[in-house]
Amino acid sequence: MKRDALIDSLRTPNSLGSRPKYISAAKQKFEAIFGASPRFVVSAPGRVNLIGEHTDYNAGYVFPVAIDKYIHIAMRERADRRAVLHALDVNESFELNLDALRPVPPNAPTWSYYLIGVASLLQESGNKIAGIDAVIMGDVPIGAGLSSSAALSVSAALAFLAGSIPQSSPDAAVSEARKKELAALCQGVEHEFVGVNCGIMDQTISLLGRADHGLFLDCRSLAYEHVPLNLGAHCIAICNTKVKRELAASEYNKRRTECERGVDLLSRWLPGISSLRDITLSDFKKHEGKLPALTQKRCGYVVAENTRVLDAVSTLKARNQQTSEKVDDPLIAFGRLMNASHKGLRDDYEVSCRELDLLTDIAHSVDGVIGTRMTGAGFGGCTVSIVHRDALETFRTRVTSEYHKQTGIEPEIYLCNVSNGAQVFNY
């Protein structure tokens, strides 16, 4: 599948959906800076993971949703090999030479690493890309664990590709393989240019998200299924601790190393395994006592979390098939799995922090909250809760007042809709 087919399949002329405010603002900012209209505005969402944390780089299962917070890039192609970039949210500008991307220029700001990496890997994988003028802005909170980095790399990849297609090209359906390829390329940017050995979940959900559906993703095969959420009277509430995740990157890589060590040790008694997702909970229980204590905790969490994801998806599918008088019971079971996930992240994987635990404790005190957990890499960032709409005002008030009372920090609370994935809007 050629890159023009990818862009055409994502292009949505004159249909801005739930994104008009920032798309219009990006277009206006582009016109003010460059004195002309953009050719495209590319829009890629952040995500929140409902369950399945730190399982993606262990080739396991995850269940994220795309949220209605986005990174937008307004752009047009250039005749030369320059990329002139303006990142409005951080009030910084940078210019790239597409023929001199490695090594990364020493004066490059951190946000530009994603665009440098995307442009470099696109070209190295055989894509011919043109220079672009671009304005970058959005409302995915930076550093909150809602995957602003994946949204930036996905939007950058589509922007560079969009700048290289003919003025008009035929509509064509994009293949599953092409989207997986692009997600893998954006994951490679994190590995090679940012130094975070992340899994592929964030990039995949940013590309493949579907409104009102969770994405059940096998991070080994990249097989996926859109599972209807049908939350009914319940809403997704995300609470930002506003604590910087200073330990997240270094500890993330440590956890990955610890899991790999566990696989190596367990392969002595379970030959043929290549990752923790190959191990059932019962098999792990048989051999966990042979592992060093820390390795046992880390691996035990991942094995249990993979099981929870499978159970959570089965629960939602059962809920979708039930009659209305029983509709709430499976969702409550889903909430219990979220609660168990947080307990494992806190006690066994040890990637939570005081502020995340405090937010989950406050949420549990509100009648109508059926599940809550930290989401993302940890050590700060956000929690995600499923809240009955009748309890939302109590939830907002109590979380804000109690969290501020105990930390001195005013939290941010986002009530999010479940969104479609990346799109390209034509002008």
Q: Is 44 helix (H, G, I), strand (E, B) or coil?
A: strand
Alpha-carbon distance 387 to 401, whole Å?
Answer: 18
Angle of the 354-364 helix axis to the 392-407 helix axis, nearest 10:
140
- Evaluate if residue 86 carries a pLDDT over 60: yes
The mean pLDDT value of the chain amounts to: 90
Here the CATH number for the domain that contains residue 355 is 3.30.70.890
86 DSSP β-pair partners: 93, 135
Residue from 133, 202, 278, 348 carrying the catalytic annotation: 202
**What tokens appear for 286 in the block?**
């048989």
Same domain, 193 and 258: no
Alpha-carbon distance 132 to 149, whole Å?
Answer: 20
Lowest-confidence pick of 161-175, 204-218, 393-407: 161-175
Q: What is the pLDDT of residues 231-244, one digit of tens each?
A: 889 999 999 999 98
Angle of the 328-347 helix axis to the 354-364 helix axis, nearest 10:
150
Same domain, 116 and 167: yes
Q: Helix, strand, coil proportions of the chain in percent (round to 5)?
A: 45, 20, 35
Tell me 418's DSSP state.
B
pLDDT confidence of residue 250: 75
Q: What is the pLDDT of residues 374-383, one digit of tens each?
A: 998 888 999 9
Burial class (CB in 10 A: 0-12, 13-18, 19+), 389: middle
Q: Domain residues for 150?
A: 3-226+421-426
Instruction: Please say if 202 is a catalytic residue.
Output: yes
User: For residue 151, which of 164, 160, 142, 163 has the smallest C-alpha distance?
Assistant: 142
12 confidence band (pLDDT: 50, 70, 90) = very low
pLDDT confidence of residue 170: 28
Alpha-carbon distance 352 to 402, whole Å?
Answer: 19
Q: Is 235 helix (H, G, I), strand (E, B) or coil?
A: strand
What contacts 264, CB < 8 A, 6 or more positions away? none
Number of domains in the chain: 2
Q: How far is CA 175 from CA 7, 21, 101, 334, 415, in A?
A: 12, 30, 29, 32, 32
22 confidence band (pLDDT: 50, 70, 90) = confident
Q: What is the pLDDT of residues 45-84, one digit of tens each?
A: 999 999 999 999 999 999 999 999 999 999 999 999 999 9
Same domain, 40 and 76: yes
8 A C-beta contact, residue 422 and residue 10: yes
Our separate counts of H helices and E strands in the chain read 12, 12
Tokens 């990955």 sit on residue: 256
Alpha-carbon distance 121 to 185, whole Å?
Answer: 7
Tokens 């009748």 sit on residue: 390
Which amino acid, residue 307? T
The pLDDT > 90 percentage for the chain reads 78
Here the CATH number for the domain that contains residue 148 is 3.30.230.10
Same domain, 147 and 285: no
Q: What is the pLDDT of residues 259-280, one digit of tens each?
A: 999 999 999 999 999 999 999 9
Same domain, 206 and 282: no
pLDDT confidence of residue 248: 65
- Scanning 92-132, the segments in alpha helix (DSSP H) are 112-124
8 A C-beta contact, residue 42 and residue 75: yes
Same domain, 163 and 263: no
Same domain, 301 and 155: no
Rg (CA), the chain: 22
Alpha-carbon distance 148 to 138, whole Å?
Answer: 9
Same domain, 280 and 180: no
107 DSSP β-pair partners: none
Same domain, 107 and 200: yes
Same domain, 316 and 352: yes
204 confidence band (pLDDT: 50, 70, 90) = very high
pTM of the model as a whole: 0.89
Same domain, 74 and 118: yes
Same domain, 201 and 286: no
Alpha-carbon distance 64 to 53, whole Å?
Answer: 9
Is omega for the bond preceding 105 within 30 degrees of 0, making it cis? no
8 A C-beta contact, residue 422 and residue 43: yes
Q: Is 421 helix (H, G, I), strand (E, B) or coil?
A: coil
**What tokens appear for 36 in the block?**
């002309």
